Amino acid sequence: MTHIQISPGAVAPGDDRSVPGRSGSQDGPPANAAKRPGRGENLAGYLFMSPWIAGFLFLIAGPMVFSLYLSFTEYNLFEAPRWIGLQNFSDMFADPRWRQSVEVTSWYVLIGTPVKLAAALAVAMLLAQKRWGQSFYRAAFYAPSLIGASVSAAIVWRALFSDDAIVDRTQKVLGFEVGGWIGDPEMIIYALIALTVWQFGAPMVIFLAGLKQVPQELYEAAEMDGAGRWRKFFHITLPMISPVLFFNVLLETIHSFQIFGSAYIVSNGSCGPADATLVYTCYLYEQGFVNSRMGFASAMGWLLLVAVGLVTAVLFWSQKRWVHYEEGGR
């Protein structure tokens, strides 16, 4: 039996990326498609996939379709949903708390994501250099991302930024009398942003991988031409890692839109004070599970999906201007 190539795009390193089947040869369909797997193998494949397919249908696709229906209804979990058309959406735009949640989330995404990525890139560049104890540092900087999603980290965060806790005391020593951040509606969002920035491990690892790929010859050539550190960064490093940067921007932006756990816990389940941490999902959760307005919550969910989709589309559109792929790659 001949070898079956599973991934059609996979190319051995060093070849010239002429993918079989794309060269317009008389083979017609791509070579790998011509060698169809036997029926038994198909069955085995589907069998192995069946838990995932079942999970997808029952736990993701089904509920999604149902929630789309619910978004046009009034539904309090107990009585049958009542069709109200676009009422939920118009209620939403008229609701000052909904607008507040959009504002808080946008602020969080706009400030948190760039700062987090900048921190990730800066540390990745430090860790990309060969030095003693390198693997220890890599692990140490990655660690917060592992525990970051946990409830305990958010509780610790709450303790750090409370009145008379370590952050407050340090501020006092430095001469700022701003008090704890947790009870301050102006400041608490920055405590949340600090929490997400602190968890830069995942994008950092991806940046590290990207930095490793930048050919050293480019730097050597630039040095010969007398380029300084910043010049090298802006003219070699950034363009060379721009696909990785794009990937990180995309992932982190989508991720930031969905912030919930940390906001919920740092604010002690209130998304306050004064709705200062009322992120979108927090309000969605409150409407759905506390106020029993599942239709409204579903409508909010779908609007979030559309918004994230739009932002993703804009990012993809913008990549033509700033993301540089090596020739032939995409």
Partner 1 sequence: MSRNNGMDRRQLLKLAGLSAAGLGLTAAGCGSGSGGSGGPVTIRHSWWGADDRAKKIQQCVGLFEKKHPKIKVKTDFQQYPDFWKKFNTQAAGGNPPDVIQNAVTFLRKYEAKNVLLDLSPQVEKGNLDLGGFRSGLEKFAEIDGKLLGVPVGSNSMALVIDEKVYEKAGITPEIGWTWDDWYAGLQKIKNGQKIAGDAGPHGVMYLYDLILRQNGKAFFTEDGMGFGEAELLPYWTEALERVEAGLYADPNKVEQIKPASATAKGLSAGEFTWDNFSVRYSAEGKSSYGLAPIPSTDGKKTGQYLGSLMLSGTARTKHPAEVATFISFMTHDPEVARIMGYDRGVPATTAQFEAFQPADAPSKAIAAYETSIADAGVLEPITPHPAGADVIEAAFLRIGADLALGKTSPKDSVKQFFSEAKTALAAN
Q: Which residues contact partner 1 by CB under 8 A?
A: 6-7, 10, 13, 48-49, 51-52, 54-56, 58-59, 74, 76-79, 96, 162-163, 179-180, 182-185, 206, 209-210, 213, 240-241, 243-244, 247, 268-270, 272-275, 289-293, 325-326, 328-330
Q: Are 76 and 294 in contact (CB under 8 A)?
A: yes
Which residue, 134 or 291, is less far from partner 1 as judged by CB? Answer: 291
Nearest to 199 by CA among 148, 258, 248: 148
Which pair of tokens denotes residue 246?
A: 């794009």
- For residue 292, the minimal CB distance to partner 1 (Å) is 6
Q: Give bridge partners of residue 82 from the DSSP assignment.
A: 74
DSSP letter at 16? -
Which residue, 1 or 6, is less far from partner 1 as judged by CB? Answer: 6
Which residue, 92 or 303, is less far from partner 1 as judged by CB? Answer: 92
- In whole angstroms, what is the distance from residue 206 CA to residue 244 CA? 7
- For residue 283, the minimal CB distance to partner 1 (Å) is 12
Question: How large is the C-alpha radius of gyration of the chain?
Answer: 25
Which pair of tokens denotes residue 206?
A: 């991806």
Residue 82, H or E segment:
strand 82-83
Cβ-proximal residues to 293 (8 Å cutoff; 6+ apart), any chain: 74, 75, 76, 287
Which residue, 80 or 228, is less far from partner 1 as judged by CB? Answer: 80
Which residue, 184 or 252, is less far from partner 1 as judged by CB? Answer: 184
- For residue 268, the minimal CB distance to partner 1 (Å) is 5
- In whole angstroms, what is the distance from residue 7 CA to residue 13 CA? 14
Which residue, 18 or 140, is less far from partner 1 as judged by CB? Answer: 18
- For residue 277, the minimal CB distance to partner 1 (Å) is 11
